[in-house]
Structure 1
């Protein structure tokens, strides 16, 4: 197995590539020619071609072992001697306290290393259904992925979600937990084809099973690789045991047959009767992986340190470099025309902010991937997304909670920037003087759960608002608003996401807030067209006010949001006052018509009105519009919209009846029941309001054997207002 050369101090993953063909010596480089093979030294100290970079993520179902895998990777490359004692509450990759407490990833954690002559950036990302934005933004800055499966469960619901989100990312698969008594490698491989609909090609077989797991059979080299203990040290080669030889030969034949369609040279060798070389097989595998046509499957036990080094070799051999990935896409800041950026220092600067974190010592840190150009300390930047100017006070390389100052960084680097004031997650940073660009924005899931958040005292109100602004800057899927009573409402995509954000409020900002019970984030809409004519007059108590508006309201299609148009002809409403009408509509719809929820999916057209040469003002038209909007309560037949979740429950067959009955009692609509062996997968659409506490109820129904995931599907009309809130 290959050994390690060291580490780059980096906190969050991203592509770290060169400047194009050739090599680029990093500005913070040191001479490492005499460094020991496993020394924990900066990876940036050696020059690497862009083709030698590997930027990949470790993705798994929640609690399926991805953090253990990430920790074993750290151990393999010499960063830590600790072996991921997650049960004991320690994990180097889980650098933030919420992740340490839960023994699961709450925010992306990453490191970088050298392995077998390649420069790695590794990310351990949260499960996709718990933290709606974390996995998509992690996928945005990586080029390949290792999907970790539980050897006893195979493909689980969150893996299906992650696979769909990572559809454009080349992937290899590691079947973990082969030391467990109930692990089944063949069944896990079969589940990849059955549930994901892709071609899984084993390139290893387990050597032994359960507590007798000794290692793996390498089908390319036709060697057994054995680990003598659980230390995670490199394995040793030996001949394949006689009792496994026929199975290994059959599996290798299947491997060769799966590869010949991707490589002309392999086809020629196959037809001539010559066995393809190991190099030919690796090249064919790489071509298939990059094309998304197949996915190599490896196996082992990360907890026992068996099979981790071969995964690192597979990453080096099969996953793409930044040069293999498509260039970053965006639009020109000035013209709006489509542009691309290739990873080169010679290109104009473009960087994408994928995380904003609060550091107790440094303050706000903005983590960026640099797609092109050079970034220097003290440089003035343009936030092209917000048209704001920024200045880089410091450039930091970070790993966990340690950091290293650098003076500059180049295309492909991932750095933390201190001193930025206006930048949020998803923003583009660029040089204002050389072809500024706005890179492709990030899609955020709709917030479907909300909780009231209040300070412990009135004096803490401003501190709470500032902290919430920091949370939203890092996670745009969060929304902060005020309800009609003036309470602060925090909205997000899941209960666990909101719990994690409240924990950040306490740990990073020192704010312990009073928090109300979570509830579904309803919306409102109108179901009947109505034209409202309203005149606002004020003749006493200060300056006189006058404004008249005539607005035609009509229901829109689901998901259309709010559309405003002006159809005013002439000077009935001067152009200067029309923005006041739009502002009044925005403010009024945010307060709702029935229960204080935002009104969506309608169109408002200003069709008439009147003004006074002296008494009409912007504010007068805003007030008139807000009052006119409230008349929709009686004329527009408003209705509540409730969030509907797509729920997938995996349960043993014997508990299926109870679970179906429980889902029906929650107003759930069963969409599909898929039976595989003794397990069944139920897919249903269920109102979110009826799913609070479902995890505990499901454990009771199934004696702890069933599990579920849920994602937002759509908003739909609630049965009626009273029934909805009673439910």
Structure 2
């Protein structure tokens, strides 16, 4: 007898007895991130898992309005399940690529992960989630869900996993169907039915094939098991379980379980499998941090056990309308008791932690103490933020913060210059504390306030969240394109500012030479004044006037760049000349000279990296060309292809949506400004005509 029958006696704990002994919590805490695309039944699996504990007919899944209206998970949700053997904390994560940073944050504190795929869907759609999971390097199990649906073909899903992700899943269960209905499972290692149903002769043969495949895969990890298998000796069930556990811990095995969460099939087996074979938090690798925030700080190690000094990583901030500010933290090492003084090593501040709790869906359960692996919610600490470290003041450590990707979708935040603007900005700062993948910044050239996120859906959710939680409404529109102007021929211009209105007058007189520069050179000012025709103290004033005038060009009022301005001559008046007079003279000269210097329009060119499945390469390349862009290179990766391209920013306002549609939400991109290039005469006229409307 093999496999799960060895721990089928593990009993779920009485849901009314929520508190467990500290010694037990210390050694047996699993933090499991449940990951899956929208539509795979991921949250139904979490809900079914919760029903194993609560034994109630109602759904225990917490949702906010923006999630309920779309039928998807947008925010990480935390649920805590108590077992006789310890505790499993489940993290229900978003499935849309707009919210991948939240998945990464969940994995940063997880000790393991469950990837949920649909038995009737395409495993390839989980590409970005799989990549995120692989980058986190956590033990994982794949759960093929929704096997109760009529169009299910779970073996096709497994085959896709093998092809798309270069995996060799260790299949540990097979479905049992009777009259077309899923009634139970068969344990591949033991050959015993689980949950109901009888094995047909065909299913017995199928189980034998998968048993041989499983033993061969396990034998590759252990010499003793390999020898027993090759020599035909009886296989030791305990040894098989040990090899299975070690293979998961070292990430050399990817077990595959299956079932139907909506029917409760396979859920208990998944829960028991994790309790038996997955490493607990305290069995995970050593955490490494810095002694302090100084440049010369050395490395410090923390074993994730109770005997080490206390340390915790704050990984999430939440502003609750009723409870105020909440900070989620993973206790990495040591013990925390109510009232304990800890050090925020990110700021140097000391804190008395008097209020912390365990999160369960949409409510908190106050606790008196916490140990390694516990995910706690710290209340009433307004100066605590995500990505900060808490630790024992006598043994400081600073953990590396969670890295968030650069936002790839930007909109102009329209403000009205009223008191409402302050409420909007204050509310946005709170939302950004909750979601570090957002960015609020100002475009210096256009003066716009810009809000950037991971995609249009991400920013639309932010807009709805601001309205429902903070009672403020924002308007997001396409940002302005920061065109530039430049000149294409050299001209010499004269600027004289002369004004007499009683008393001292104003006099400044300059001659400037305007010359074009290569792209990317900006504005260069030079003085060739000799003989004191313009005193030295006024040279800087001329330059100030020149640069001020170049902020608005003669074509469309855009910034003028790639121009050299040389002060070659001029005159002054001993009484009437002043700094301001020469500023005005410089402005007049530029305004008079630009129209005569054959000005042209320049547009911003973005350097792009587009990461996508190879199957979508052709259509995405064609689309780049249609946007007046050009591909500069390809890099072939393990699962995807990276396109490097250059494209005008004006053609990319809808690119996040377009790439999603072209790649079925599997494509990602990033871009940054490469420089400005000349616009064709025909397009320039069109742009300038639109700007004048």
Return the TM-score normalized by structure 1. Answer: 0.69
Residues 342 and 372 in structure 1, CA contact (< 8 A), matched pair in contact too: yes
Partner of 1:299: 258
Q: What does residue 58 of structure 2 align with?
A: 82
Distance, in Å, in 1 between the alignment partners of 2:329 and 2:63 is 18
Where do 5+ consecutive residues of structure 2 fail to align? 1-7, 485-517, 521-547, 560-593
Q: 1:81 deviation in Å? A: 1.8
- The alpha-carbon distance between structure 1 residues 181 and 492, as it changes in their structure 2 partners (threshold 3 A), is same
Q: Which residue of 2 aligns with 1:312?
A: 271
Q: Which residue of 2 aligns with 1:221?
A: 190
User: Residues 407, 218 of structure 1: CA spacing in aligned structure 2 closer, same or farther, 3 A cutoff?
Assistant: closer
How far apart are the structure 2 equivalents of 1:253 and 1:691?
Answer: 53
Partner SS state of residue 114, structure 2: strand
Q: Could you tell me which residue of structure 1 aligns to residue 111 of structure 2?
A: 143
Aligned to 1:709: 666
CA separation of 1:490 and 1:512: change in aligned 2, threshold 3 A: same
Please name the residue that 1:476 is paired with: 436
Equivalent residue number for residue 264 of structure 1: 223
User: 1:617: which partner in 2?
Assistant: none
Q: Quote the Cα distance in structure 1 between the aligned partners of 2:369 and 2:17.
A: 19
In 2 relative to 1, CA 712–698 (structure 1 residues): closer, same or farther, beyond 3 Å? closer
Match of 1:126 among 91, 94, 113: 94
Q: Give the 5 Å matches for 1:488-499.
A: 488-499=449-460
Instruction: Give runs of aligned pairs for residues 134-213 of structure 1, distance below 5 A.
Output: 134-167=102-135, 168-208=137-177, 211-213=180-182
Matching residue within 373, 386, 404 for 2:347: 386
Report the 3-state secondary structure (helix = DSSP H, G, I; strand = E; otherwise coil) of the residue aligned with 2:74. coil
Contact 1:139 1:166 (C-alpha < 8 Å) held by counterparts: no
Partner of 2:528: none
1:520 and 1:290, CA in 2 relative to 1: closer, same or farther beyond 3 A?
farther
Residue 96, structure 1, aligned to residue 64, structure 2: yes
C-alpha root-mean-square deviation of aligned residues, in Å? 4.4
**More displaced stretch, 139-148 vs 403-412:** 403-412
1:82 alignment partner, SS class: coil
Residue 43 to residue 596, structure 1, CA distance change in 2 (3 Å) = farther
Distance (whole Å) between structure 2 residues aligned to residue 239 and residue 204 of structure 1: 14
Deviates more, 1:166-175 or 1:503-512: 503-512
Matched-pair contact (CA < 8 Å) for 2:26–2:372: no
The aligned counterpart of 1:427 is 388
- 1:446 Cα deviation after fit: 1.0
Q: Which residue, 335, 344, 350 being the options, matches 2:311? A: 350
Decide which structure has the larger Cα Rg and report it: 2
**Which residue matches 1:65?**
41
CA offsets 1:288-312 (integer angstroms, 9 cap, x no match): 1112112111112222322211111
Provide the rounded CA distance (Å) in 2 between the counterparts of 1:649 and 1:177: 26
Match of 1:250 among 209, 217, 230: 209
**Contact residue 346 and residue 388 of structure 2 kept, 8 A:** yes
Return closer, same or farther for 1:421/1:267 CA change in 2, 3 Å cut-off: same
Q: Measure the CA separation in 2 of the matches of 1:278 and 1:690.
A: 62
- Residues 673, 477 of structure 1: CA spacing in aligned structure 2 closer, same or farther, 3 A cutoff? closer
Offset, 1:106? 0.9
Name 1:339's counterpart in structure 2.
300
Deviation at 1:486, TM superposition (A): 5.1
Deviation of the 1:349 alpha carbon: 2.4
2:603 aligned with 1:646, yes or no? no
Task: Tell me the distance in 2 between the aligned counterparts of 1:516 and 1:597.
Answer: 23
Aligned to 1:186, the other structure's residue is in SS state: helix
Specify which of 278, 281, 286 is matched with residue 240 of structure 2. Answer: 281
- 1:408 Cα deviation (Å)? 3.3
Give the aligned length: 571
| One of 199, 203, 217 as aligned partner of 1:240 | 199
Q: Report whether the alignment pairs 1:44 with 2:20.
A: yes
